Structure formats: structure tokens, C-alpha cells
């Protein structure tokens, strides 16, 4: 039976955290970079497929080269994201958050090893797709379909396993759910219907499309010839804009799914958390304005770089607000 427990109004009393400002801000920085990289790793393969199909339908080999670039960047982002994930684990260990590793151990046999195997499987599938596309022969339709299916497997595997696994482990570490260890597969599946897991997963999915779409649009402006640049870049920026707008609803629902103490810190109980959260919301609205301009009006490299900085700042500030409101876990 999964139950939700209440927090104290102060720091989470059940976690023996050694509160170090340096460590917590390092965690915020590395976690922000980690999430951004995993956003690209998760949806970049889907945009590579889109560019793959577009290049064939319109007979545009330059678009195919761009698609392969997006794919290889997604694979590189995956590798670097995993490294930063390990760095994040090291920082948590240095903070002395034993409850986090205890929660990880409780699901290690049932889900964590399996989850990491699935994540590794995603990397292998993406590598095979890119190698087949770049070096193999795919003249036959069935070969193109099979190769793209590998990329779809890579993306969907990562989109399912990455946000759900680590959200649940974090909730267990913070004492938001109680389970009888070791957690078996049925108990783990029951945790998937927790509102915070659902809304954070949707939040991660939308952020992944926003990040991948913006990066793809920037590549379009830089690498495509003028006669192909406008239409392809506009479509890519639209892919970034639509999920960013949808984050208004999903972000609100995610905030309401948090425990009462965390909501209190974000809504005025902690001045720093509230300020970071408020500024991040303002930057998200600014990002929507920039993406709308890029999608429908001015497709300029300068504005795209500005949008990328605003996106990075939004992710950084939201990560800081959420992590600090959770007491650093």
C-alpha cells in the first residue's frame, strides 16, 4: 500500500542532510545541465526522424545532414548527461543524504538495474539508427522504416524510464510515499499513478520537445541554405513553442501536486524559493514571446541565441526553486 506523508514546515526532518551552500548550488547547476542534456537526448531522435523524412520528401540532402547532426548531438547529450547524473549522485553522497541512497537500494533489484538497462538500450538503438542512416544503404522503404523504428525505441524508452524512475526514487527519499522494501514491480507500478509522478513526467516530456525544437531551429538557421532555411526553421521553432505554451497547464498541475510544505515555500513561505520561482515564471513567458516571434515572424540567429539563454535561465531557476523548496533532496 502506497501512502503519502506530510512534511514539517522546516527542513525535512527524516533526512540527515549536511546543509552546505556550496554543495547545494553545485547540485542546482549540474542538475540543470543534466536535465537540459537529457531533454535533448530524449526527443532529439524524434526530430532527427522528422528531418530524415522531410529530406526525402523534398529531396533536400542538406536537411538530411542536419538531421544526422541533431541525432549525433542527441547521442552526445545522452553520454554527457549520464556523466552529470553520476556527478549529481556524488554531490548527494557528499551532502550525507543517506535516505536517497536507501530509497535507491530499495528499488535496485526490481527497477533500477532494469531501468538503467533500458536507458542503455536507448543509446544502442540511437547509435544503430545514426550509423545505418549515415553509412548504410537505406534505399528500400522497409530499411528506412526499420531504422527509424530504432530511433523511436530510443526516444520512447528514455521518455518513459528516465523521469518516472528518478521522480519515484526522489519521492521515496523525501518520505512522500511509504512502501515496504524491497519494492517489487507491482508496488513500483502503483507509484506511477501518483500525481507528482504523472505531472513531472509530462513536464519533462514537454521540456524535451521545447529544448530539442529550439536547438534544431538554431541548427537550421546556421547550416541550411537560404531557400530551405525559413520553412524548416519555422517548423522547428513551432515544435518548441507549442509544448512551451502547454507547460502553463502542466506546470500549474505539477505545483498543485506537491506537498503542502513545498507549496508553502514556493508561494511565500521561503523568500528565496518564492523569488526564484516567480522570476522563472516570468522568464518562461518571455521565452514564449521569443519562440512565437521565431516561429512566425523573425527567424534571426540573434533572437534564437537569446531564446536559448532564456530557456537555460528558466531551467536553472526552476531547478533551484524546486530543489531548495524540497530541502535539497
Q: What is the DSSP string of 104-160?
A: HHHTIIIIIHHHHHHHHHHHHHHHHHHHHHHHS---SHHHHHHHHHHHHHHHHHHHH
Alpha-carbon dihedral sign for residues 284, 26, 204, 120: positive
User: Is residue 7 assigned to a domain?
Assistant: no
Q: Structurally, how many domains does the chain consist of?
A: 1
- What are the φ/ψ torsions at residue 178 (nearest 5 degrees)? -120, 130
User: Is residue 6 assigned to a domain?
Assistant: no
**DSSP label of 299:** -
User: Is residue 185 assigned to a domain?
Assistant: yes
User: Is residue 273 assigned to a domain?
Assistant: yes
177, β-bridge pairs: 4
User: Is residue 9 assigned to a domain?
Assistant: no
User: Is residue 190 assigned to a domain?
Assistant: yes
Q: How far is CA 8 from the centre of its chain?
A: 29
Closest to 326 in 3D by CA, of 48, 78, 8, 66 = 8
pLDDT at 100: 57
CA 31, CA 250: separation in Å to the nearest integer? 21
Question: Residue ranges of the chain with pLDDT lower than 70?
Answer: 1-20, 95-115, 175, 178-185, 328-329
Residue 310 lies in domain: 18-325
Query: In 3-state terms, what secondary structure has residue 290?
Result: helix
> Looking at the chain, how many residues does it have?
329
DSSP line for 215-258: HHHHHHHHHS-HHHHHHHHHHHHHHHHHHHHHHHHHHHHHHHHS
* 280 neighbors 328 (Cβ within 8 angstroms): no
Question: Residues 6 or more apart from 115 whose CB is under 8 A from it?
Answer: 161, 165
Query: In 3-state terms, what secondary structure has residue 13?
Result: coil
CA 36, CA 179: separation in Å to the nearest integer? 31
* 40 neighbors 73 (Cβ within 8 angstroms): yes
pLDDT at 137: 81
pLDDT at 138: 80
User: Is residue 11 assigned to a domain?
Assistant: no
pLDDT at 3: 44
The set of cell numbers assigned to 118 is 533500458
User: Is residue 188 assigned to a domain?
Assistant: yes
Q: CATH number of the domain at 243, please.
A: 1.20.1630
Amino acid at each position: 500500500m502506497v501512502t503519502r506523508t506530510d512534511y514539517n514546515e522546516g527542513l525535512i526532518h527524516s533526512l540527515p542532510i549536511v546543509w552546505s551552500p556550496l554543495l547545494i548550488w553545485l547540485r542546482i547547476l549540474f542538475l540543470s545541465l543534466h536535465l537540459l542534456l537529457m531533454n535533448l537526448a530524449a526527443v532529439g531522435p524524434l526530430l532527427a526522424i522528422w528531418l530524415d523524412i522531410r529530406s526525402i520528401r523534398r529531396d533536400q540532402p542538406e536537411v538530411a545532414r542536419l538531421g544526422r547532426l541533431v541525432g549525433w548531438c542527441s547521442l552526445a547529450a545522452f553520454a554527457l548527461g549520464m556523466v552529470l547524473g553520476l556527478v549529481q549522485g556524488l554531490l548527494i553522497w557528499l551532502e550525507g543524504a543517506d535516505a536517497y541512497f536507501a530509497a535507491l537500494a530499495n528499488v535496485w533489484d526490481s527497477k533500477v538495474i532494469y531501468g538503467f538497462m533500458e536507458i542503455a538500450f536507448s543509446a544502442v538503438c540511437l547509435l544503430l539508427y545514426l550509423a545505418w542512416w549515415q553509412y548504410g544503404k537505406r534505399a528500400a522503404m522497409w530499411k528506412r522504416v526499420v531504422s527509424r523504428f530504432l530511433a523511436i525505441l530510443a526516444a520512447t524508452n528514455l521518455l518513459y524510464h528516465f523521469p518516472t524512475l528518478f521522480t519515484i526514487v526522489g519521492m521515496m527519499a523525501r518520505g512522500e510515499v511509504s512502501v515496504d522494501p524491497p519494492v517489487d514491480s507491482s508496488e513500483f507500478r502503483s507509484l506511477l499513478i501518483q500525481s507528482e509522478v504523472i505531472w513531472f513526467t509530462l513536464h519533462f516530456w514537454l521540456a524535451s520537445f521545447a529544448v530539442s525544437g529550439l536547438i534544431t531551429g538554431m541548427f537550421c538557421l546556421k547550416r541550411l541554405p537560404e531557400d530551405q532555411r525559413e520553412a524548416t526553421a519555422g517548423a522547428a521553432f513551432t515544435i518548441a513553442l507549442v509544448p512551451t505554451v502547454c507547460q502553463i497547464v502542466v506546470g500549474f498541475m505539477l505545483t498543485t501536486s506537491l506537498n503542502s510544505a513545498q507549496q508553502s515555500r514556493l508561494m511565500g513561505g521561503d523568500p528565496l524559493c518564492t523569488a526564484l520561482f516567480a522570476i522563472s515564471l516570468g522568464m518562461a513567458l518571455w521565452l514564449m514571446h521569443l519562440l512565437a516571434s521565431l516561429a512566425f515572424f523573425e527567424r534571426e540567429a540573434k533572437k534564437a541565441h537569446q531564446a536559448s539563454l532564456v530557456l537555460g535561465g528558466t531551467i536553472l531557476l526552476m531547478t533551484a526553486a524546486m530543489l531548495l523548496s524540497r530541502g535539497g533532496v
